[in-house]
């Protein structure tokens, strides 16, 4: 699938400047830009860079300057996320790597879901395809990962009332349920837009699905403070019920 011309030029600029900072083995794009589900208003640009070795402090400082400079273009370019996975470690789903997210570096893993998405629909911006050393993820392994993520990450999140007052967590959390169900019930990876179309399966009312769809399209959706609190209670119940149902079911191949 062809990338939007402005995104393609931005990625070329990022690649060329990245080559001056690290010894780069590969640069790989995955996510909505490679599945045809990209929204310029809300989608991230998701990348995995494979340098010869883990960037040291000096290299991370230069990379930070690079990311901040390119992010000044605004829009989706300010939402460019890049995980720096040193060559030879792409098969390790537990190792922490430097991860540029938003406006700073943090530490993150190359999770099994990301490996599966990269293998299914990723593309090389630079380097060989498929990425050298990328682990093949079995359906059983992916399903186990999805259930663990629901149990270990999302279940504790449901217990935090303040989180669900925020639009981004409402959207992120609810969309997770049908995407997880697709993996567990059908063995399929689906896009966020496809997931929004399946929210009713989890009891999400039409008005809330419409809000999520409109925000993803870049519309400004007005929600009053009382409405936020009412919505938060509803979403927490939907999330708790959905997690309980999905983690109790037997995965199907």
What are 185-194's pLDDT values in tens digits? 999 999 999 9
Per-residue pLDDT band for 245 (boundaries 50, 70, 90) equals very high
Q: What is the pLDDT of residue 76?
A: 87
Average pLDDT over residues 188-202: 98
Q: What is the pLDDT of residue 97?
A: 98
Residue whose tokens read 């390119």:
70
What number of other Cβ atoms are within 10 A of residue 93's Cβ? 16
Q: Spell out the domain ranges in the chain.
A: 5-126, 139-248
Residue whose tokens read 């990450």:
153
Structure pTM? Answer: 0.92
CATH code matching the domain that covers 5-126, chosen among 1.10.287, 3.30.460, 3.40.50, 2.60.40? 3.30.460
Please state, in angstroms and as integers, the Cα–Cα distance from residue 118 to each residue in 161, 172, 205, following that order. 33, 20, 32
Q: What is the pLDDT of residues 113-165, one digit of tens each?
A: 999 999 999 999 999 999 999 999 999 999 999 999 999 999 999 999 999 99
Q: What is the pLDDT of residue 251?
A: 81
Strands 104-109, 96-101: pairing is: antiparallel
Average pLDDT over residues 69-89: 94
């Amino acid at each position: 699938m062809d990338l939007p011309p402005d995104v393609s030029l931005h990625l070329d600029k990022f690649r060329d400047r990245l080559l001056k900072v690290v010894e780069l083995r590969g640069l790989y794009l995955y996510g909505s830009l490679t599945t045809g589900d990209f929204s310029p208003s809300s989608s991230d640009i998701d990348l995995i860079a494979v340098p010869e070795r883990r960037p040291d402090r000096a290299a991370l400082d230069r990379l930070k300057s690079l990311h901040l400079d390119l992010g000044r273009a605004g829009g989706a370019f300010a939402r460019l996320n890049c995980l720096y996975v040193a060559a030879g470690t792409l098969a390790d789903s537990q190792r922490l790597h430097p991860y540029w997210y938003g406006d700073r570096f943090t530490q993150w893993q190359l999770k099994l879901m990301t490996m599966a998405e990269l293998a299914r629909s990723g593309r090389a911006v630079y380097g060989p395809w498929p990425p050298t050393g990328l682990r093949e993820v079995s359906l059983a392994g992916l399903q186990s990962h999805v259930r663990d993520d629901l149990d270990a990450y999302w279940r504790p999140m449901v217990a935090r009332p303040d989180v669900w007052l925020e639009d981004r967590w409402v959207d992120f959390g609810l969309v997770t349920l049908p995407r997880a169900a697709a993996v567990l019930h059908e063995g399929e990876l689906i896009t966020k837009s496809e997931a929004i179309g399946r929210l009713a399966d989890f009891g999400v009312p039409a008005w809330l699905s419409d809000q999520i769809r409109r925000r993803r399209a870049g519309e400004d959706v007005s929600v009053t403070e009382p409405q936020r609190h009412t919505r938060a209670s509803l979403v927490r119940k939907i999330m708790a019920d959905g997690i309980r149902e999905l983690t109790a079911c037997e995965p199907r191949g």
